[in-house]
Amino acid sequence: MNGGAGEGGRTASLPAVVPVAVRLPKTGDPMSYPRAMLGSVETRSVSPVFVGRTGELDTLNDALARAAGGAPGASASQGEPQALLLGGEAGVGKTRLVEEFAAAAGRQGAVVALGGCVEIGADGLPFAPFSTALRALRRHLPEELAAAAAGQEEELARLLPELAEGAPVTGGGRHDEESMARLFELTARLLERVAARRTVVLVLEDLHWADASTRHLVAYLLRTLRTGRLVVLATYRSDDIHRRHPLRPLLAELDRLRTVRRLELGRFTRDEVGRQIAGILAHEPDPLQVDAIFERSDGNAFFVEELAVAAHEGSCTGLTDSLRDLLLVRVEALPESAQRVARIVAEGGSTVEYRLLAAVAQLAEDDLIEALRSAVNANILLPAPDGDGYRFRHSLVREAVGDDLLPGERSRLNRRYAEALDADPTLVPAAERVMRLASYWYHAHDPAKALPAVLDASVEARRRHAYSEQLRLLERAMELWDSVPDDVRATLRPVDYTEVYPPCGCDPATTPLRYLDLMAEAAVAGRLCGERERAMKITKRALRLLEDEQDPAAGTGASGRDPQRAAWFWTQRSLLVQAQGRGDGWRELGIAQELVRGLPPSQVHAEVLAMAANWSMLHSPGPDAMTAAERAVEYARMVGADEIELNARLTLGGLMVDAGQIDAGLAEMFQVRDLVVAQDRSVVVARSHVNLPSSLESVGRSREALGILREGVDLTRRMGLLESEAWVWGNLAESLISLGRWDEALE
């Protein structure tokens, strides 16, 4: 590679990839079949000499030393997590700098785990760089990773499915505001434990392609990592960060953190360009040639490579071609079959697996290998560092080739990719299949095939707690809905795609999926990922559809106004209004109560009553709240809504204590606490260990509250419920103060 190119007064109560490298590549490692055949190709357009970057490399090495415990004042047994952001325009040399740093870190005994954000069309895979990096850590530090993940394998399998081998993670389970925070906290704890005794360098490349969930996790880690011999290095293309780019707010947020160092990689000087060209040509270049290439490339390392080779080979006379033409000139010099393969790879994603490429190209294997050899010899494609795939040597070349595709050619290639994956799902890693299939069918402009695929992908995003991606996919499904024939929509079932929207008397296994079902899922996803304004717009539109007594998008036979469904959307509006600080949410809950008044017991009815009782417990406890809680318990029990029942019982117990029924109320709360601990119901476990001690403290039983709170600290920490743990600590401090144990409270 060259020297630059590459890529109140009482205690509180709670309401209810592709590129990867670890260490240094070892000689003698087994190679895949296609990679083995292409192992001897030339790479003469890249310089073996690492040029410049002394200051940046010193900063990275200083971070490594600090993480390993070499900072001034640190003991030999301690390290301090380090976070760095490396930006620079495309082609300036970020990847080469990372490679040099990784090699040096490996020589010092560090484990380097690299994960790249994966671009498929215009889409990113949720948590892709973390999944790739964790997979690498599991491969090279299996015992350490297993020990660090012990007891939380199923939850962490949302990032790395292999952790739950033999016990696959289901899409079920309650999804709430703490779900994503829990996953993030467990991930941070996992990394701290893995890096407790061994220095680990976690490299996250190409953040400009990162999905929203990946960006949220990066922000969380860089704010919360406190222990461990860990270096987190993230790279991004700064020239891509326009005013509305989603990475821009994250960079601004991280700039305010004193624990994050930001490096901006500049272009080469004229002297550095000369040294780079000398490395490429293996001799001292003509000074006039260096001047010309420096002026034309403006010091961009990748363009220096391309210009130097083009000038040397005579394929770019006078260096006057546009840079885009320059990037394409060697592609167009390839044999036609190799050009075709390059176009196929350009549309397939950041990396395309060999077997998938073969299925799409439909060439005889010998012909495909020969085409690949030509493309690799010309330094257009490279074997992927890990696995059997191929990728472009630089994303700039891929983008140039992709931009050269005709509109019909682009959609046809996406169809070929989708058809190949439908025919053989094993062509790509299982964790990527549904997301890639959804992207391929969508960009093939086939709504009938795209809608089910996009819905499958939304389920996978929800399973991973990637709620931002779930929202985007559901909005895409709603966009496609009207373009899909009725007979195709009639085959879709709520049981396969929905979780949050109650059936309201319909059988989700036999009733066709409705547009309102998608809106419900999208509203909750938007609330959980923080996109509350988008979620509010969705709930308002859903209520308009229901109030009009017609669901236009549901087609012929759509049911009229359904008060239970309308009540459910009003509960969502209540939550959103409170989250946005636009009100207390009581008006919305009042409308929901009126809509279900007089209706038979149902899950929606029980939930509305439980939410109303809980709101009243926090804002205006009294007889009406007690009645609502009692009815919520009764209705939830009648319809088998266990979690609603348990939460309503906690609320009822707290209201009873407030009303003077102390023994009965506390007994109710103790029963719920014992049940949820035995059943490991994380959300209700957290609430019970906040609300029960709060009620005990309110009646002067501080010592009793203390024991439950200490148990709550252990449980919420084990479950990764960071926000709930904070509530427990706050109540613990208040109980200690009540007992006069001031020193302990300060701790």
The 10 Å Cβ neighbour count of residue 668 is 23
Residues 294 and 254 in one domain: no
Q: Is 441 a domain residue?
A: no
Residues 293 and 252 in one domain: no
Residues 278 and 259 in one domain: no
Taking each helix axis from N to C end, the angle separating 354-361 and 407-423, rounded to the nearest 10 degrees, works out to 120
Residues 211 and 284 in one domain: no
Q: Is 234 a domain residue?
A: yes
User: What H or E segment, with its residue span, contains residue 114?
Assistant: strand 111-116
Q: How far is Cα 9 from Cα 2, in angstroms, rounded to an integer?
A: 65
Domain boundary among 294, 321, 348: 321
Residues 259 and 301 in one domain: no
User: What pLDDT is recorded for position 24?
Assistant: 32
User: What pLDDT is recorded for position 409?
Assistant: 95
| Helices first, then strands: H and E counts in the chain | 35, 10
Residues 224 and 122 in one domain: yes
Where do we find the tokens 């671009």?
Answer: 119
Residues 189 and 280 in one domain: no
User: What pLDDT is recorded for position 170?
Assistant: 46
Residues of the chain whose pLDDT is less than 50? 1-11, 15-44, 76, 122, 168-173, 317-320, 550-560
The 10 Å Cβ neighbour count of residue 515 is 20
352 to 344, 358, 428, 432: CA distances (angstroms): 9, 10, 9, 12
This model's pTM is above 0.95: no
pLDDT tens digits, one per residue of 601-659: 999 999 999 999 999 999 989 999 999 999 999 999 999 999 999 999 999 999 999 99
Q: How far is Cα 389 from Cα 391, in angstroms, rounded to an integer?
A: 7
Residues 305 and 191 in one domain: no
Q: Is 86 a domain residue?
A: yes
What SS3 string covers 372-391? HHHHHHCCCEEECCCCCEEE
Q: How far is Cα 732 from Cα 710, in angstroms, rounded to an integer?
A: 7
Contact yes or no for 540/531 (Cβ under 8 A):
no
User: What H or E segment, with its residue span, contains residue 88?
Assistant: strand 82-88
Q: Is 170 a domain residue?
A: no
557 burial type by CB count under 10 A (0-12 exposed, 13-18 middle, 19+ buried): exposed
Where do we find the tokens 């299925």?
Answer: 359
Q: What CATH number is given to the structural domain containing 77?
A: 3.40.50.300
Q: Is 718 a domain residue?
A: no
pLDDT tens digits, one per residue of 383-414: 987 768 999 988 888 888 998 898 899 999 99
Domain boundary among 220, 242, 264: 264
End-to-end CA distance of the chain: 53
| Residue 280 tokens, joined | 């490429």
Q: How far is Cα 508 from Cα 176, in angstroms, rounded to an integer?
A: 22
Cα 655-661-665 angle, rounded to 5 deg: 60
User: What pLDDT is recorded for position 10?
Assistant: 42
Q: Is 10 a domain residue?
A: no
Residues 67 and 192 in one domain: yes
Q: Is the dihedral of CA 153, 156, 158, 161 positive or negative?
A: negative
Q: How far is Cα 530 from Cα 250, in angstroms, rounded to an integer?
A: 14
One-letter amino acid identity for 342?
A
Q: Is 403 a domain residue?
A: no
Q: How far is Cα 365 from Cα 367, in angstroms, rounded to an integer?
A: 5
Structural domain boundaries, residue 299: 270-321
Q: Is 155 a domain residue?
A: yes
| Residue 358 tokens, joined | 């073969």
Q: Is the dihedral of CA 416, 422, 425, 428 positive or negative?
A: positive
Task: For the chain, give the longest Cα–Cα distance.
Answer: 94
Side-chain half-sphere exposure of 160, counting CA atoms within 13 A:
23
Q: How far is Cα 571 from Cα 454, in angstroms, rounded to an integer?
A: 27
User: What pLDDT is recorded for position 2?
Assistant: 45
Residues 246 and 289 in one domain: no
Ramachandran angles phi, psi of 151, nearest 5°: 90, -15
Q: How many residues does the chain have?
A: 747
What SS3 string covers 377-438? HCCCEEECCCCCEEEECCHHHHHHHHHCCCHHHHHHHHHHHHHHHHHCHHHCCHHHHHHHHH
DSSP label at 507? -
Residues 285 and 158 in one domain: no
Q: How far is Cα 569 from Cα 555, in angstroms, rounded to an integer?
A: 21
Side-chain half-sphere exposure of 244, counting CA atoms within 13 A:
0
| Overall domain count for the chain | 2
How much of the chain is helix, strand and coil, in % rounded to 5?
A: 60, 5, 30
Residues 275 and 259 in one domain: no
| Residue 45 tokens, joined | 């357009």
Q: How far is Cα 62 from Cα 83, in angstroms, rounded to an integer?
A: 12
Q: Please choose, from the candidates 237, 266, 244, the residue with its C-alpha nearest in 3D space to the C-alpha of residue 87.
A: 237
